[in-house]
Amino acid sequence: GCVLVVSVIEQLAQWHNSTVKAAVERLCDYIPGKYQIMCHMSRCIDKEMNADVVCHSLRLCKQDPGQPLCHLYSPPKKEKHSCGLFYTLVHARPKSQIRSINSSHKSFMGFSSVCAFPLLANLCEKIKFVLRNKLPFEDFDGDKFSTFPTLRGYHWRGRDCNDKNTTVYPGRRPDNWDAKSDSNCNGIWGVDPKDGTPYEEKFCKGADSRGVVLLGDSAGAHFHIPPEWMTVTQMSAKSFANLPMAFSDEFDWPQFSEITGFLNSTIGGWTDSLYLRLRKRNRCNHRDLQNISQNEYFPNNIAPYLSFSLARNQLLDNPAIVIYATIGNDVCNGERDTLAHMTTPKEMLSNVVQALRYLDTHLPNGSHVILTGLVDGRFLWDNLHDRYHPLGQLNKDVTYSQVYSFLDCLQVSPCSGWLTPNETLRNLTSERALQLSNVLKEIARSEKFANFDIFYMDFPLRQTAEEWRKMGGEPWQLIEPVDGFHPSQIAAALGTGITWQKALHEWPQVLGKENPFNDQIEAIFKDQGGH
């Protein structure tokens, strides 16, 4: 975090030909009020020292005994008898300035924990709650749906239309055909004055209504850090306008994602999702979505948190299409001995079957489960390693290879097995991913459940890349530019089309039939002002 912030400040000073102090003030003008805690690092920054040196001098970065010295930038040239980065630091400053750095050390210690700052403490507590429970923080009736967008609110699940009534929520079967009120939040309720028939009965009875639920990892949650946050040539006050929302959504953008996206993308590309296509196919499916994904590393044992995160009543709700897509977590970790920490095929079988058995006791009859295979992450290194990262574009001094090595050294790499110059390790990681995908494929072939059928599909990376090439794009554009790891908005939208076509041709029963009344529903909505 320190290296990132200092890098941006130094590049702002360079780009605007200003002092570091002026660059800090400029950055603080860009960042919304209570998020300006990072601005207080300015007093020890020197344009002549790279970000690694500055952050080690502040003791925000450190080298543990017996561990390598982690650095993003190439180390400064060493003089005779040098002691590395600290030697460079000490010899670059008068002793009075060194004393100033040491004396100011205490004031920076809290930076290592953003939540130590009073202005952010309350928000951090809320975020800790949603991280633990994968449930909306603002949910007054406890039905697991919310009228608030972030903090696991309706960006992640269909928007509640009555947060004071636990029997009103997206995805349920209509109560008395919703003649008097909207019990399932799909916007269809009331009685047609022409014949006295409830609209829900007229338009949705026998329409094969169904929702979509994603059980995923950070790719499914659609992790994204806007590149304009660290590209000084593009930076302005508008760049950080979405920082509060991004922070309270865990830097995920599920509202634009491949499975549950429903808003027009504001992060590049376009939004196309399984939910939007199901809604277009049957307007009665409005708001019936749940994105139960998480960023942090976890073995593929989803079952324990399904019990308090999944919102589906087997007796009262519509069937659901459940997408089981942990496309990388079982082989990705930041450990030095990464192979030893990967999920084994035996563990994969046990974990997935356990989760499916739980689903069988909670999903309404007629549901469907699609198991998605793991990605072949060699695509990442092959297409990015020699390209410049957003932090390195101004001075052509930071490649993705350097970023991967830096994160791996810190043991916070999103995937040590794939984001590495070690070709053998990359191949071994893909070999394990293929083994785990074969486990999923065998589960779909052999396991039977009472309340849903089960299908398998490979993660469509190859088809997505081919489709993008036909459109004139480059493979690297399918990867998130800042983390160099997750699928980009473009990749998510293209992947939706490929998944939909496969389902349409091979498993049409999963998607349900097309509702012949869609146009009439939309016309009535339009007449009523869109409500």
pLDDT at 100: 43
Does 250 score more than 60 pLDDT? yes
pLDDT at 530: 52
pLDDT at 320: 98
Q: What is the pLDDT of residues 83-118, one digit of tens each?
A: 444 445 434 444 444 444 444 443 333 333 567 666
> Taking the domains of the chain in order of start, what are their residue ranges?
1-71+86-108, 212-508
Does 300 score more than 70 pLDDT? no
> What average pLDDT does the segment 263-270 reach?
96
Euclidean distance between CA atoms 82 and 71, whole angstroms:
17
pLDDT at 393: 96
| 8 A C-beta contact, residue 353 and residue 243 | no
- The catalytic residues are 218
Neighbours of 78 (CB within 10 A): 12
Q: How large is the C-alpha radius of gyration of the chain?
A: 25
pLDDT at 78: 54
> What average pLDDT does the segment 178-191 reach?
96
Does 119 score more than 90 pLDDT? no
pLDDT at 113: 56
pLDDT at 308: 87
Q: What is the mean pLDDT of the chain?
A: 89
340: Cβ contacts below 8 Å, ≥ 6 apart? none
Residue holding tokens 């949910």? 139
Euclidean distance between CA atoms 489 and 492, whole angstroms:
5
pLDDT at 89: 47
Is the whole-model pTM more than 0.85?
yes
Token reading at 505: 């041709």
Q: What is the pLDDT of residues 319-339, one digit of tens each?
A: 999 999 999 999 999 888 999
